[in-house]
Amino acid sequence: MSAKILYGKEFAAKIKESAREQVEELKSKFGVTPGLTVIIVGENPASQVYVRNKHKTCEELGIVSEVVALPEDTNKDDLLAKIDELNANPNVHGILVQLPLPAAIKAHSDEILNRIDPRKDVDGFHPVNVGKLVIGTPDLVPCTPAGCIEMLDLAGIEIDGKNAVIIGRSNIVGKPLLHLLLARHATVTVCHTHTKNLPEIARQADILVAASGKPKLVTADMIKPGATVIDVGINRIAPKKLVGDVDFDAAVDVAGAITPVPGGVGLLTVAMLMKNVVKAARLQLEA
């Protein structure tokens, strides 16, 4: 029997509707309209697409959206000065620096991201927010792993007491998701390039998350029958062909539920960003 397909569009719509309601509440109760400013440096075409998507979603939900487009040759100090200016602006509740940065300042990415006020860090990458997540008192959480949890909840898939295996240990997905799943009482194993017996470990998973960035790494024989498979990978294998980290066509006959690529978790990332902007506005109200 084929798996239930977890299409991101329906889950993203529910998250965005909830965010829209909270925006209206902040406006009516406190006279506050949540605001997001995205800084983009240079002319990266993929980044421009992502930024337009974020801007459009903000407008749909009633969030004030500003895009600060800086030239390719912007130096580190000028970028830090712009972040300082936005940190001090009470009408800006969320600040996001679109990655990757141009080659000339890419080495300073950590310093640049860490300059953002943790209460305005809607990507959830600041060490303060990472630390809060690790000790179990999260404020702003990275959007993609948070979207994975939200999807499981909305799909009615139990996390408590389940064996979860994450393939990938990045700071953006693997590590934050480890702590989110632990907080929900899953038993979590994180696998990576040095893991021995990966297929054997993966087959123990009730919830299997593929976030390695390797096309079709997860094959059908690595999946426990009936398991939930979340594919975070997006790999371009031809000009117009995207695939995930899971061999979807084979896995769909083994898994109980599975996300497609494209059309799966990726659609929840922007929705969770909107949720973070609203949460950031609340945090700043309470400060």
How many CA atoms does the CB half-sphere of 134 hold within 13 Å?
A: 10
Omega before 100 cis (within 30°)?
yes
The answer to whether 148 and 257 are in contact (CB under 8 A) is no
How many CA atoms does the CB half-sphere of 276 hold within 13 Å?
A: 32
* Catalytic residue (choose from 123, 139, 231, 245): 123
The 3-state secondary structure of 23-53 reads HHHHHHHHCCCCEEEEEEECCCHHHHHHHHH
In three-state secondary structure terms, 66 is strand
At residue 1, the pLDDT reads 61
Q: What is the pTM of this model?
A: 0.94
Which CATH number does 143-267 carry?
A: 3.40.50.720
C-alpha distances in angstroms, 228 versus 23, 25, 201, 203, 223? 33, 35, 15, 11, 9
Q: What is the DSSP string of 185-235?
A: T-EEEEE-TT-SSHHHHHTT-SEEEE-S--TT-B-GGGS-TT-EEEE---E
* Catalytic residue (choose from 16, 98, 121, 247): 98
* Catalytic residue (choose from 54, 82, 120, 175): 54
287 residues of the chain, pLDDT tens digit each: 689 999 999 999 999 999 999 999 999 999 999 999 999 999 888 889 889 999 999 999 999 999 999 999 999 999 999 999 999 999 999 999 999 999 999 999 999 999 999 999 999 999 999 999 999 999 999 999 999 999 999 999 999 999 999 999 999 999 999 999 999 999 999 999 999 999 999 999 999 999 999 999 999 999 999 999 999 998 888 778 889 999 999 999 999 999 999 999 999 999 999 999 999 999 999 87
CATH 3.40.50.720: which residues of the chain? 143-267
Cα–Cα dist 116/49, whole Å = 23
User: Is 216 an annotated catalytic residue?
Assistant: no
Phi, psi of 37 (to 5 degrees): -115, 125
Amino acid at 250: A
Non-local CB neighbours of 128 within 8 Å, separated by 6+ positions: 118, 121
Burial class, 199, CB count within 10 angstroms (exposed 0-12 / middle 13-18 / buried 19+): exposed
At residue 241, the pLDDT reads 87
User: Is 54 an annotated catalytic residue?
Assistant: yes
Q: Which CATH number fits domain 31-117: 3.30.70.3400, 3.40.50.10860, 3.30.930.10, 1.20.20.10?
A: 3.40.50.10860
Cα–Cα dist 240/250, whole Å = 21
User: Is 204 an annotated catalytic residue?
Assistant: no
Cα–Cα dist 245/134, whole Å = 26
Q: What is the DSSP string of 86-119?
A: HHT-TT--EEEEPSSPPHHHHTTHHHHHHTS-GG
CATH 3.40.50.10860: which residues of the chain? 31-117
Cα–Cα dist 177/170, whole Å = 10
